[in-house]
Structure 1
Amino acid sequence: MFVSYKWLQDYVDLSGITANELAEKITKSGIEVEGVDVLNEGMKGLVIGHVLEREQHPNADKLNKCLVDVGDEEPVQIICGAPNVDKGQKVVVAKVGAVLPGNFKIKKAKLRGEESNGMICSLQELGVESKLVAKEFSEGIFVFPNEVTVGEDALAVLNRDDQVLELGLTPNRSDCLSMLGVAYEVAAILGREVKLPQPEVATSNEKASDYIEVKVEASEDNPLYVAKVIKNVKIAPSPVWMQTRLMAAGIRPHNNVVDITNYILIEYGQPLHAFDYDRLGSKEILVRRAQAREEMVTLDDAKRVLSEDHLVITNGQEPVALAGVMGGANSEVQSDTTTVLLESAYFKGATVRKASKDHGLRSEASTRFEKGVDPDRVRAAAERAAELLALYANGEVLEGSVEVDTLTVEPAVVSITLEKINRVLGTNITTDEVKSIFNRLQFEVSVESDEVTVTVPTRRGDITIEEDLIEEVARIYGYDNLPMTLPIGASTPGALSEYQKKRRVIRRYLEGAGLYQAVTYSLTSEAKATQYAIEKREPIRLAMPMSEDRSMLRLSIVPQLLEVLKYNVARQMDSVAVYETGTVFLSTNQDELPEEREHLAAAITGLWHLHPWQGEKKTVDFFVLKGILEEMFATLGLTNLVEYKQASIDGMHPGRTAEVYLAGQNIGFIGQVHPTVQKDLDLKETYVFEISLKALLETETAPLQYEAIPRYPSITRDIALVVSKEIVSGELKGIIVEAGGDLLKEVSVFDLYEGERMEAGKKSIAFSLRYYNPEKTLTDEEVTKAHDKVLKAVEEKTGAVLRG
């Protein structure tokens, strides 16, 4: 809601308080002011000018040479390129020395050989948004529609010397979607009176009931409908003050009739609609639900196909408006309109919301009906609009209104004890103070003994229970005035648990290794819910999903990370490496909440590193990701507890996938995504892992111990073992480590051979073994003894023989 500071002064005395001070007070009372826009910021030197003469520029087809009276002793010559400039107009002139938004300074100039002493301005050049400028001035300069004084400050006449407060309203405070609603709020905050408009309408001898009859079939959707008739209307631009107030509120001016209905919308918060009576096609208004597949054309010239859920205003036969949302093109007020049928009604919010959503039409009117308008202002708004139509459209208001009224709305009556107010707020507020607060809010209040009974006006539909009254007392009393107390009891400083510390270590390590952290949805589709799950469980469906793509709780993080890769690769990010620590959801019993288990997953594709100058590049492969994982295990001190076993997993490459075991327990997997999945996602070779973070971080590790650098030399022995192709290197390495004893310190694979000279069904795996004793120099006999044990063990357990 945009609130003009100058406009607000019509209803509340704001003397002695600036717009910024008011914004702070409103914010402290519970309604956030998101900003204060100073409309004339940085501008000066703008006056009203009168174009005395206009002629074609002698040296330019699209320029005009104008003689303009700006209130000085002599008129000045100004060159203007606007297509709509003409003799006799009253316009905005930036004199020499003036400053426009953006610190644009006006100087004397020569344009195509002709002197120009100033600038005739459009509203856009004064900082007005193009969407708020009336259509006739959107491509040229602004021309004052009413009589104004030459030489007068143009910014003051255009209300650009104003400041606009932007209120960030929560849905319950729909009462402040109007200037009067804001006025009540400000008056309560400042402890001042509210000055309400007092419409005085002189009516003709003719009666509105002779011109129109109103019937309402859908009384539940429209319990109150008020119609007034105004004759002999003259369509013209509305006064400048009204146009500028509408622009400050974010509404584009059109003509006096439409502008008046919009003005009342902002002033009272009550949407109105003006029909061209002569185009209505009958003397009847019938409000009903639309028929299935019924059609109408709205004011935006779009054909709307209606359903039985939509409420329409009809002329007895065809729709002339979509109730509470938008009028119909067939009854639009146009330049030749002379008689106006004015509608002011109370429509059910849910019905308006349905039509607004179905047709994608969210208007200022529908917003207010959805959130709730004050039923007590429906008639008052119609009377105020009739008064303005008589004043600014020369209208003749017919006597009376035509109404259908089945509305029964009673003010809410809520009682609360003074003891409860003070107990909840921690205050010692007296009865008189509480009574004063409700009086400032314009609430009827009575006190009997310790009980306060409040009759809430209909404009404040958000107040229905005791807690609402407590909130009103607190915010008007002042949140800053509420006493502050420290909690009583022993307190302990916060600290991270061991689990949290280790999780941070993992995140820092992975980011240091070059992976970016991703945060993805925990919700997924039915097709992806069970993909790549470490532990197979029945997936859990949401009772009320937002969409089918987000209808299930995930069992794995990998599908979401693959979507992250797909999204980035589609945007020419060819090399992507991401990880995520997140929760998966495992179903338990039917009536119990799922078990939430934290997992760690990563996905990489493209190049791992690239050095164009040195001509080096390396694409990601299985061992790049395995190396990242192994170093992470080493960082946590778990290297000796981890082993990898070849595995076959749906959606993974059958020959490049392994399960990860920690202390003999399967905690996850690592490998390449299956080529068909890669193709479906438009990815190159992609590698992923996912492990149970819970299992990883809850595993106890031995305290970190440091060893001195060996003073004595080590001895390295290389062996090439010929084994069956089914035997994996990890199995051989485990046997070697176990048999090597204390002297064997390092074992690593450095070669694999499966060439022509190898016996069928066999392969050769070469290991490098490093022996040393930290306390003395090893002898050949000691190394040979330990080495022979290794060779004997691999032969006995796997049938391996040394390659000749």
Structure 2
Amino acid sequence: MKVSYQWLKEYLDIDVDPRELAEKIARTSVDINDVYSLSDGLKKIVVGEVQTCEPHPDSNHLHVCQVDVGEGDPIQIVCGAPNVAAGEKVIVALHGARIGDNVKIKRGKIRGVQSNGMLCALQELGFSDKIAPKDYDDGIYLLPDDAKPGDSVFPYLGMDDTIIDTDVTPNRGDMLSIYGNVNDIAAFYNLKPHFKEVAVKEGADEQTSDLVEAKVADTTVAPTYKLRVIKDVQVADSPLWLQIKLWNSGIRPVNNVVDVTNYVLLKYGQPLHSYDYSQLPGHQFAVRHAKDGEAFTTLDGDDHQLIANDIVVTADDQPVALAGTMGGQGTAVSASTTTVALEAAIFNPIMVRKQARRLDLHSESSMRFERGINPATVETALNEAAELISELAGGKVTKGIVTASEQPAEDKHITLSLAKVNHVLGTELEMQEVVDIFNRLAFPVETSGADQVTVTVPARRWDIFEAADLYEEIARIYGYDNLPATLPVMTRNHGGLSPRQKFLRATRHDMEGMGLTQAISYSLTTEDKAKQFQISPLDEPMLLDFPMSSDHVAARMNIISGLLLDVAYNVARKVDNVALYEEGRVFLPKGGERPEEQEHLAAAITGQMVANSWHRDDQPVDFFQLKGIVERYLHNLGIAGQISFVADDHRAEMHPGRTANILVDDQLVGFIGQVHPQTAKEYKIPETYVFELNLEALLAADKVANEYHPISKYPAITRDIALLVDSDVTNADVLAIIKKRGGAFLKHVHLFDVYSGLHLPKGKKSLAYTLTYQDDHGTLTEDQVNQAFDKVTKSLTDDLSAEIR
């Protein structure tokens, strides 16, 4: 919630720097996202009065204005806004001013006419379109008549206020209101709040019950439901003080009726909804479960198909609002509204949360209903809103409230033991200190003897249920920093990483050592992306019943799809060389059982892994470079089995001619290759190479024991051999024969040349190898090497019909 510091000061005699206050809130109540002012980074922006406004001589939409900015002679400014006119008070950015997005304003000529500044809309000061009043979307913002030329505009627009943006946890729904923040801040600064409530004055002769009826058949759906009616309203813009409170809280002003409901929502945390009485299909209100397939159009114009778990407010059994979430389009208050039906309620928080998530309709109201509503202020908020609508829109409040259901505001009584408090917190508090803390919280207390204290918890703190909750209240008001620090008592255990932890850590170290950067992507994705890039294809992923959004509906069965989104994010921002890896879990469904969680390793590389320079040409990543990374990783793991790469063309997302399965002793443990060009186009990425490995299979595989092999002090001897073989003979075929027949002294085989084309018979290719021989215990003789080499050449000619060149 965006909390206005100036609004807090209306109810608290507080003289603390806003940033210091934010730090105190963060250490005592809830987290803080940001502390800022709308004027941050802006300068030389003042009030101006347009004295004359003439058409531009060389434009049919520009105006040449003489503007008084309090400096004696007016300055000339060219402006294209359609609503600029003589006599209006406007926002002026002078020469040298800084406006939104750090834009600097300079003198200049616009179509040959000198312009010495700029007349501004709120958006040009940094206001987002979500909070700037819609009436000024196509023009500049007009200030009130009492604005004085030359003054800074910030106080007139509330931009001199400081906003404390709190991150409210689910258990502290009371902090989603000024009322809740005032009570909490008063407690930890030991202040007396002077919160102001506005009493309603009923001015109409009619009874509310003569105009509307209401019923709630199931009070678990709507524990509280109340209605008031205000007649003879005149819908117009809200006064500036109200608009400022709303846009400083991140809410867009609409009109005086809707703005009052939002103001009361911010003040008390009580959502309200206003209906155009004349547009209702009837005046018998009810709250019920929706019918399966029931259609409803919300205020934003979207059509929704409802289900039985949704809850709706109806008028004569016709839905007019999604309860606790959003109103309907046909009954919204408009400029022609003269009578308003005003609703205040408490709806089932679980049902509102599920409804809002399913329909992706998260609003200020649903956020509060989900976390709970103070039953003690429902009627207070309803009465205050009715009175403010009466004052600001000239309406008359009818007599009485129509109540369909009402949850009583019950206080809770919890008994504490002082000894237990000190034992849990590790403190040595006296009884009077504990009593003072609860007095600061405005929790009535009664002591019994030297050890017992009974605390009455008011309904406004519905998050407190038991003694443990009160221990936390004592700790945070006393000050977490004041609690004594003690070491936990524990047995002595030998520390260290488990074999699995060592394995996963070594995996990350290997990937980073080979130039890849770790990425962490969402474990939830779309259904289509979950099905892609699977090592062993499965049918359907595990779907969520209540997904957060349409992009997070299924548990991933691969890691590559998330990495490709990361690649796309970087490429879109002109980062052409991307090498990412991720080690994480995938979730493989097992019928109706809990899914199997497997640890996987995946990587995605595009562009160049090694940057070009004056002595090195561009070398884009290819299949073999990625294959080398996998081979080095498997070698570092000490996999004892036979590792092989077998061509594969069965994965639709992978290039059919540049993909291979990775096998350890004929067991499939992963795959490697190029992303199919069509798939790459869908992800909006260039040519990209990927691999994914099942770490569970590698963890279970046999490993070579760590051994020390001293470097031989004896010289090595090399032999080169060039072979002419059939085109379908692979390097792996040749290596298998060389290693089998190479003898005990063969240390290394290196392929240094591949050639096919002119000067070779059709269907043939040339492969050239260097064989390195070395004895660890003595100097090899020429005869020993020649004998071993002859065995290799003979086997190659016999087994592969190779021709030695």
Scaled by the length of structure 2, the TM-score of the pair is 0.77
Alignment of 1:39-50 (within 5 A): 39-43=38-42, 48-50=47-49
Determine the C-alpha separation between the residues in 1 that align with 2:110 and 2:722.
92
Determine the C-alpha separation between the residues in 1 that align with 2:247 and 2:382.
22
Contact 1:413 1:456 (C-alpha < 8 Å) held by counterparts:
yes
Counterpart for residue 218 of structure 1: 217
Alignment of 1:627-646 (within 5 A): 628=629, 631=632, 643=642
Determine the C-alpha separation between the residues in 1 that align with 2:588 and 2:102.
62
Q: Is 1:234 paired with 2:234?
A: yes
Q: Is 1:191 paired with 2:190?
A: yes
Counterpart for residue 379 of structure 1: 379
Alignment of 1:23-422 (within 5 A): 23-43=22-42, 48-58=47-57, 60-66=59-65, 79-93=78-92, 100=99, 120-144=119-143, 154-204=153-203, 206-209=205-208, 211-220=210-219, 221-280=221-280, 284-316=284-316, 318-422=318-422
Contact 1:737 1:747 (C-alpha < 8 Å) held by counterparts:
no
Contact 1:218 1:289 (C-alpha < 8 Å) held by counterparts:
no
The structure-2 alpha-carbon separation of the partners of 1:746 and 1:297, relative to structure 1 and needing over 3 Å to count, comes to closer
Contact 2:720 2:768 (C-alpha < 8 Å) held by counterparts:
no
Contact 1:282 1:315 (C-alpha < 8 Å) held by counterparts:
yes
Determine the C-alpha separation between the residues in 1 that align with 2:522 and 2:116.
62
Contact 2:3 2:178 (C-alpha < 8 Å) held by counterparts:
yes
Counterpart for residue 705 of structure 2: 700
The structure-2 alpha-carbon separation of the partners of 1:258 and 1:610, relative to structure 1 and needing over 3 Å to count, comes to closer
Determine the C-alpha separation between the residues in 2 that align with 1:294 and 1:410.
37
Q: Rg bigger for which structure? A: 1
Task: Measure how far apart 1:502 and its partner are.
Answer: 7.1
Residue type at the aligned position of 1:175: D
The structure-2 alpha-carbon separation of the partners of 1:53 and 1:433, relative to structure 1 and needing over 3 Å to count, comes to same
Residue type at the aligned position of 1:470: Y
> Structure 1 vs Structure 2: percent identity of aligned residues?
38
The structure-2 alpha-carbon separation of the partners of 1:428 and 1:699, relative to structure 1 and needing over 3 Å to count, comes to farther
Contact 1:565 1:576 (C-alpha < 8 Å) held by counterparts:
no
Determine the C-alpha separation between the residues in 1 that align with 2:11 and 2:789.
99
Residue type at the aligned position of 1:386: A
Contact 1:520 1:561 (C-alpha < 8 Å) held by counterparts:
no
Alignment of 1:663-678 (within 5 A): none
The structure-2 alpha-carbon separation of the partners of 1:704 and 1:124, relative to structure 1 and needing over 3 Å to count, comes to same
Contact 1:678 1:686 (C-alpha < 8 Å) held by counterparts:
no
Task: Output one character per residue of 1:377-413: Cα deviation in whole Å (capped at 9) or x when no partner.
Answer: 1111122123222332222333332323342452233
Task: Output one character per residue of 1:585-627: Cα deviation in whole Å (capped at 9) or x when no partner.
Answer: 9999x9999796x666778899999989999899989876665
Task: Output one character per residue of 1:333-383: Cα deviation in whole Å (capped at 9) or x when no partner.
Answer: 333433333222222223433443454432222222222211111111122
Counterpart for residue 480 of structure 1: 481
Counterpart for residue 757 of structure 1: none
The structure-2 alpha-carbon separation of the partners of 1:699 and 1:275, relative to structure 1 and needing over 3 Å to count, comes to same
Determine the C-alpha separation between the residues in 1 that align with 2:593 and 2:293.
44
Determine the C-alpha separation between the residues in 1 that align with 2:589 and 2:223.
50
Secondary structure at 2:362 match in 1: coil
The structure-2 alpha-carbon separation of the partners of 1:423 and 1:132, relative to structure 1 and needing over 3 Å to count, comes to same
Provide the alpha-carbon RMSD of the alignment. 5.5
Contact 1:51 1:90 (C-alpha < 8 Å) held by counterparts:
yes
Secondary structure at 1:132 match in 2: coil
Task: Output one character per residue of 1:416-451: Cα deviation in whole Å (capped at 9) or x when no partner.
Answer: 322222222221122222222222122222232323
Task: Output one character per residue of 1:228-277: Cα deviation in whole Å (capped at 9) or x when no partner.
Answer: 23333233322111111111011111222222121111111112222333
Alignment of 1:383-782 (within 5 A): 383-449=383-449, 450-487=451-488, 507-511=508-512, 513=514, 532=535, 560-561=559-560, 628=629, 631=632, 643=642, 690=693, 692-694=697-699, 699-710=704-715, 714=717, 732-733=737-738, 736=741
The structure-2 alpha-carbon separation of the partners of 1:309 and 1:64, relative to structure 1 and needing over 3 Å to count, comes to same
Determine the C-alpha separation between the residues in 2 that align with 1:98 and 1:624.
54
Query: Gaps spanning 5+ residues in structure 1: where?
Result: 755-762
The structure-2 alpha-carbon separation of the partners of 1:145 and 1:355, relative to structure 1 and needing over 3 Å to count, comes to farther
Determine the C-alpha separation between the residues in 2 that align with 1:53 and 1:693.
80
Contact 2:4 2:249 (C-alpha < 8 Å) held by counterparts:
yes
Query: Gaps spanning 5+ residues in structure 2: where?
Result: 757-764
Contact 1:410 1:458 (C-alpha < 8 Å) held by counterparts:
yes
Counterpart for residue 760 of structure 2: none
Task: Output one character per residue of 1:491-549: Cα deviation in whole Å (capped at 9) or x when no partner.
Answer: 8997667876676666555555566656678899899799646xx99999799897999
Secondary structure at 1:227 match in 2: strand
Number of equivalent positions = 776
Contact 2:563 2:581 (C-alpha < 8 Å) held by counterparts:
no
Scaled by the length of structure 1, the TM-score of the pair is 0.77
Secondary structure at 1:184 match in 2: helix
Determine the C-alpha separation between the residues in 2 that align with 1:237 and 1:776.
98
Secondary structure at 2:130 match in 1: helix
Contact 1:344 1:379 (C-alpha < 8 Å) held by counterparts:
yes
Task: Output one character per residue of 1:147-194: Cα deviation in whole Å (capped at 9) or x when no partner.
Answer: 556666542232222111101111111111111111111111211012
Determine the C-alpha separation between the residues in 1 that align with 2:784 and 2:258.
104
The structure-2 alpha-carbon separation of the partners of 1:629 and 1:343, relative to structure 1 and needing over 3 Å to count, comes to closer
Which stretch has the larger CA shift, 271-280 or 18-27?
271-280
Secondary structure at 1:250 match in 2: coil
Determine the C-alpha separation between the residues in 2 that align with 1:229 and 1:523.
47
The structure-2 alpha-carbon separation of the partners of 1:409 and 1:786, relative to structure 1 and needing over 3 Å to count, comes to same
The structure-2 alpha-carbon separation of the partners of 1:488 and 1:601, relative to structure 1 and needing over 3 Å to count, comes to same
The structure-2 alpha-carbon separation of the partners of 1:729 and 1:438, relative to structure 1 and needing over 3 Å to count, comes to same
Task: Output one character per residue of 1:575-594: Cα deviation in whole Å (capped at 9) or x when no partner.
Answer: 99776655689999x99997
Task: Measure how far apart 1:695 and its partner are.
Answer: 5.1
Determine the C-alpha separation between the residues in 2 that align with 1:99 and 1:720.
73
Counterpart for residue 758 of structure 1: none
Counterpart for residue 5 of structure 1: 5
Contact 2:33 2:167 (C-alpha < 8 Å) held by counterparts:
yes
Task: Measure how far apart 1:307 and its partner are.
Answer: 4.5
The structure-2 alpha-carbon separation of the partners of 1:603 and 1:259, relative to structure 1 and needing over 3 Å to count, comes to closer
The structure-2 alpha-carbon separation of the partners of 1:484 and 1:666, relative to structure 1 and needing over 3 Å to count, comes to farther
Task: Output one character per residue of 1:268-326: Cα deviation in whole Å (capped at 9) or x when no partner.
Answer: 11122223334446554344444554445443344555444444434435343333333
Determine the C-alpha separation between the residues in 2 that align with 1:679 and 1:268.
54
Which stretch has the larger CA shift, 188-197 or 524-533?
524-533
Contact 1:312 1:322 (C-alpha < 8 Å) held by counterparts:
yes
Residue type at the aligned position of 1:708: K
The structure-2 alpha-carbon separation of the partners of 1:86 and 1:674, relative to structure 1 and needing over 3 Å to count, comes to closer
The structure-2 alpha-carbon separation of the partners of 1:705 and 1:350, relative to structure 1 and needing over 3 Å to count, comes to same
